[in-house]
Amino acid sequence: MFGNLFEEDYSSVSSSQYGRGKKLKTKGLELPAPREFTNLSGIRNQGGTCYLSSLLQTLHFTPEFREALFSLGPEELGSLEDKDKPDAKVRIIPLELQRLFAQLLLLDQEAASTTDLTDSFGWTNDEEMRQHDVQELNRILFSALETSLVGTSGHDLIHRLYHGTIVNQIVCKECKNVSERLEDFLDLTVAVKNVSGLEDALWNMYVEEEIFDYDNLYHCGTCDRLVKAAKSAKLRKLPPFLTISLLRFNFDFVKCERYKDTSCYTFPLRINLKPFCEQSELDDMEYMYDLFSVIIHKGGCYGGHYHVYIKDVDHLGNWQCQEEINDTDVNLKAPQNEEKADDPLVVLKTILLQEEANQVPVNHLGQKLLKKTGISWNKKYRKQHGPLRKFLQLHPQIFLLSTDESTVSLLRNHLTQAPTDLQNREQILYTLASEPPGLNDNTSCSHWFDINDSKVHPIKEKDITQQFQGKESAYMLFYRKATLQRPTEARANPRYRVPCHLLKEMDAANILLQMRRAECESANSTFELHLHLGPHYRFFNGALHPAVSQTESMWDLIFDKRKTVGDLRQSIFQLLEFWEGDMVLSVAKRMPAGLHVYHNLDGDELTLCEAEIADGEDIFVWNGVEVGGVQIQTGFDCEPLLLHILHLELSGEGSKCEQLVESPHVFPANAEVGMVLTALGTPVGVILMNSVESADGECWTAIPKEDMKKTFREQGLKNGSLILVQDSGSDDSSLLPKQGRRTNSMNELNWLQVKNFCQSESEEKQVQIAVTMHTVVFDIRIKAIKELKLMKELAENSCLRPIDRHGKLLCPVPDTSTLEEAEVKMGSSMALCLGKAPTSSQLFLFFALGTDIHPGAEMEVIVEEALSVRDCLKIMLEKSGQQGEKWHLRKMDWCYEAGEPLCEEDATLKELMICSGDTLLLTEGKLPPPGHLKIPIWWYQPAGLTGHCESRDHLNCAFSQGSSWGAAPTQGAPGPEPAEVSLLYLGDMEISEEATLVELKSQAMALPSVSKLDVQSTALLRVWTVESKRPSRLLRTNWRQLKEYRLGRRVELCLELLQKEEDLGPQDVLLRTQLRIPGERAYSLATDLVWDTTKGWTAASLRQRVADFYSLPVEKIEIAKYFPEKFEWLPISSWNQQVAKRKKKKNQDTLQGGPYYLKDGDTLGIKNLLFDDSEDFSTIRDDIGKENQKRLALEKKKNREVHRAQSSDVFSNAGMPTRPRGPEASLSIHVASFR
């Protein structure tokens, strides 16, 4: 239906298959975990097959379908052992389906594998990773089964169980002639939009008539003229099993985008189809259908995940949880409080009232709830009320959150409670704590399970109603005829009607599993885990990096793999005594770009083996939301890819030098390929990929313009991939020079170029050595010495070093490695240099002075990896000729910027994970002591803002004559401040992380430059963080400690002077508002406006606040947010918000989210519609700014064209062949012909 619209949600996917560089397609786990207490088996996700798993579980729990398939023996279907024989007609799909159903019934494993089944479909790894629509799969799978069963006794299996008929009738109002047309169906597709539920939709389809009259008459064949008529449809034949597909995905023709309809859509557990049928004379029970499966889609139209609610008709599984003990008396302790115990408002208020300070960190509130009641928020309330933090935000009339939402308390009017009321609340907690995790329902009621890929959990029948609406809602419904009865011997008997050969196969497999599990128990049960501590990491350059050092950020832990995830969590809690708040354990992996988090370790009852934790696994310990104030995107989808981008760049060294420049960039794997052009600042261009077609060949492939919207992963790009970017106007196609010729592919390259860098006279300056990827480096070096006719003594004192595209010598390559192991590419250049390559215990390091590194300025040194940072610093200082003790080392990151300092001077280079080839920077200045911050302080004065100092000249006079503002004076009509904000550097300040914000202000006032301004009080200073030379985040609440703001070691702050004191609350937002001058493209001076967002971040709330502030009618104003970097205004209208409410969740109806992203310090333009009703918000300055941006873009393009003309030796004039875009990948199952 929608092709590969739906991308898999990998939150529950195993790390053994994702993110660890292993082959995706596997035959199963080394040792499958046994079934859980439900005694039901799930299905392992192959990467994007949750839709397949949900449908297969539904068919498996349709006993009539399962048993009809089991009734077909090998004499009709053939045998899987003969499937590779050329003349054998083996019906592989039904055989693999039989085997899968037998495994789900009898094999003692937590989850079955569908690898063999998808192989029988003819699917590849790519197909298994691509998500599809389950409704589309239902039709295609049934078609494949019908084709596979042709000529067998089961040829009518699908038709017999799922086929129904609709009769469409048109009745002439004149002659009463009836025109009929029959329509077959395997599933009914019903509308969701503007319909309240299933019965309402069926009524519209099969009861209401469409009348043809007036301008829409019907031509009757009997009357032979246009007449009035009535059109209707009825169900003529009902199948035993009725499948209903809900049309939740629609297209908005106004916005030209797809959307998912998440409105409430009810459906009954039992439905009477009699009103919708043509014949209604039968008994009512013949029209009754019972719901037995609900396939649920979670997410939107561009991403999501499927799972299924299934009714266990044959009672094959254990419906009651393990925790549900026979002692039911515990449920009767406080029946009068059960209703209140289900109210999270009452429970949370009770917990807060019991706190001495009536204030609790939000991260601790969930733990206190678990401790006092024995039930976590996620298990008890999350499905109905959402995440805990979001629940607190939605009840501002009761709970008061701090500015950064780190702590919560009760509002004053809720603090006073009568003793009896408090006693009742304590009784509620007692009732809640004594309540088992799953209340014992009547054993005679229906047994429902939630099957989510590998996991199977019992649910109650009432839980189905939670899937009526929202982003996680019902997508397909399956009903069975109420008159269908199951035989008594099938009840709780998984072996019922399973063929004998499958029974024997499953029994043998279970015996083998038991033996292997016994061997596993007796084997070594401990392994090593690498714990990465979240508070010691920072997120930058697209991945997580240690804030201080690898030694401090990562701990090694030896642990028993037979223990549970809960045991691991408890051990880490005891190990990290300093930890505060919630602790989330996530599987991570060290990527070339940095550390990346994949999925959380959920299910504390699972053993580490069941959780698929491997030896040497990287575990990230954090709060599950953010690191260093930055929200972290997790999962396989957004895995950071480090790509090497080749692009033309101007060079002053002349055209003889190589002009291609290689620069590394990090992109999320799910980002669009077009982001490459954005990263290079290139508006348009052609992107070429360097792909491997054979074992020893490569080729460049141009990405069509229409494929720019595809993701990096869809294009097959991975870490280390090479991308070439050239101007779109170029028709050149040559890539690399070779012996004076130009080559359009890499297939010709089977050599290395070795240059003489030994400073020894030789007739030859360079030679080409014929090699393969398995050639040993030592052999290449000896052969190069001979062909260069150099002294034989160099064999003992020389090494080979790769030369990058900039001409820089890289780290020497060990003699014992092959080219493939050393990752040396064919056709590249290497230098024969004096000196031996470092040994296995040594490191070859580059180092340079300062942070502004120029090519060729690096020095080289070989040191032992066991050397301490302090000793390494001394060696580098001595070699560079520097003296003094006020120096420290920083590691240069992949984007050639100074990274975090190496703070642990006594740690070894190996402990800090310094590797050969790394570049260390000798930076002047002593590091602050532990627990202290060294913060650059700036002065910030917004241009033309009322309520501040009267003039900038007054401020300039307060500083020394040599000082100047960071931005040039603005010209043109008055308007918002320019993109370059005026910041004046005041000096550096060293302060403890334990200090409060008011202490920081006091210490900043003592700076010489600030003291000249005669600031009267710290209350007259605002403090902002500085990012990209602009104020970013407003720091409020004077009593908070600096460490609570999570500023980081690289933070910069700026001070803003006020005329009067202010006290901003946690829900207050500070905005700069400017009133547009009627008749002019200009604005008045900006004014600070404080907006209380307690009632929500809605456009209506903001409009009302602005109208009150300017004393204007709310319907006579228009508001727009200014984006200074684009010189653009984006109007904020209530209409846009109302549209969003219909198509998105309520929590997305906020100005905090896209496209506005409103925050402190943003500029708003206000237009009075009484005097100015135009739609334009722009100013003359905006026009000038946009023209300048266009001019700079054209100049950059022109420079690239000139540079391309000079680099004619790199690209030929032949046209670049472009690969035509293939059709969108559709779902298909390949079936052999059996007719």
Catalytic (active-site) positions: 50, 305
Q: Which two tokens stand for residue 1025?
A: 């963080």
For residue 1205, report the phi and psi dihedrals to the nearest 5 degrees: -65, -35
Separation of alpha carbons 1037 and 1064, rounded Å = 8
Instruction: Evaluate the omega torsion of the peptide bond into residue 976 and state whether it is cis, within 30 degrees of 0.
Output: no
Q: Which residues contact 687 (CB under 8 A, 6 or more apart)?
A: 673, 676, 677, 702, 703, 708, 723, 724, 725
Location of structure tokens 């009035």: 228
With residues binned 3-state (H G I as helix, E B as strand, rest as coil), the percentages for the chain, rounded to 5, are: 25, 30, 45
**613 contacts 602 by C-beta, under 8 angstroms:** no
Separation of alpha carbons 955 and 1057, rounded Å = 10
Q: Which two tokens stand for residue 997?
A: 């914000």
Q: How far is CA 113 from CA 43, 44, 453, 460, 474, in A?
A: 6, 5, 10, 27, 25
Location of structure tokens 């029974």: 503
Instruction: Please work out, in degrees rounded to the nearest 5, the angle formed at the alpha carbon of residue 681 by the alpha carbons of 1181 and 655.
Output: 120
The counts of H helices and E strands in the chain are 28, 56
Paired sense of beta strands 188-191 and 249-252, if any: unpaired
**349 contacts 71 by C-beta, under 8 angstroms:** no
Sheet holding 1053-1057, edge to edge: 983-992, 932-940, 1053-1057, 1021-1027, 1030-1035
Determine the 3-state secondary structure of 1062 from DSSP.
coil
**275 contacts 207 by C-beta, under 8 angstroms:** yes
* Nearest CA among 808, 805, 863, 858 for reference residue 833: 808
For residue 79, report the phi and psi dihedrals to the nearest 5 degrees: -125, 140
Q: Which residues contact 994 (CB under 8 A, 6 or more apart)?
A: 931, 1041, 1042, 1043
Separation of alpha carbons 703 and 1217, rounded Å = 10
As to burial, measured by CB atoms within 10 angstroms (0-12 exposed, 13-18 middle, 19+ buried), residue 748 is: middle
144: amino acid identity, one letter:
A
* Nearest CA among 1139, 1138, 1128, 1136 for reference residue 1165: 1128
Separation of alpha carbons 899 and 975, rounded Å = 38
Q: What is the dihedral of CA 939, 945, 946, 947, to 10 degrees?
A: -30
Determine the 3-state secondary structure of 754 from DSSP.
strand
For residue 7, give the DSSP letter.
Answer: P
Separation of alpha carbons 304 and 298, rounded Å = 5
848: amino acid identity, one letter:
A
**1214 contacts 734 by C-beta, under 8 angstroms:** yes
For residue 1044, give the DSSP letter.
Answer: G
**598 contacts 590 by C-beta, under 8 angstroms:** no
**1172 contacts 1112 by C-beta, under 8 angstroms:** no
Q: Which two tokens stand for residue 1050?
A: 């690289």
* Nearest CA among 725, 652, 636 for reference residue 689: 725
Q: Among positive and negative, which fits the CA dihedral 405, 406, 412, 416?
A: positive
Q: How far is CA 638 from CA 7, 188, 672, 687, in A?
A: 12, 37, 11, 21
Paired sense of beta strands 859-864 and 842-849, if any: antiparallel
